[in-house]
Amino acid sequence: MLYAAAKALISGVLVALISETARRNAALGALFASLPVVSVLGMIWLWRDTGDANRLADHAEATFWYVLPSLPMFLLVPALLRRGVHFWPALGAGCALTVGLYGVTILIAARFGVRL
């Protein structure tokens, strides 16, 4: 239980640092947010928990394929905000787009033998 709490605390502190940096400097905060910090932490925790190279390789590869359909969200949300759409609907639309694109990605990947 202590280990899970430590993982949550470390992960949460990193997210808080990124958001505080973004509050002061949007570009620097975006740079830090674009780093695959959560993915790297996930790989570290997975390796520490399992030591299973195949599971970690599958996780890292699937992360790559799931990052691609999430990228359009980072274009849709600012476009909507700049057109006067409020934050929550803009974020919801971005998330809905991402979920839809995840489904499309899974279908397309399956046609090429990639199992997600």
Is residue 36 in some structural domain?
no
Tell me how many domains the chain contains: 1
Give me the domain span that covers residue 86. 53-116
How far is it, in rounded angstroms, from Cα 36 to Cα 44? Answer: 12
Q: What's the confidence (pLDDT) of residue 77?
A: 98
Is residue 9 in some structural domain?
no
Is residue 93 in some structural domain?
yes
Please give the mean pLDDT across all residues of the chain: 92
Is residue 78 in some structural domain?
yes
Q: What's the confidence (pLDDT) of residue 47?
A: 96
Is residue 110 in some structural domain?
yes
Is residue 70 in some structural domain?
yes
Q: pLDDT for 51-66, tens place per residue?
A: 999 999 999 999 999 9
pLDDT level of residue 46 (50, 70, 90 thresholds):
very high
pLDDT over 90 (residue 6): no
pTM of the model: 0.75
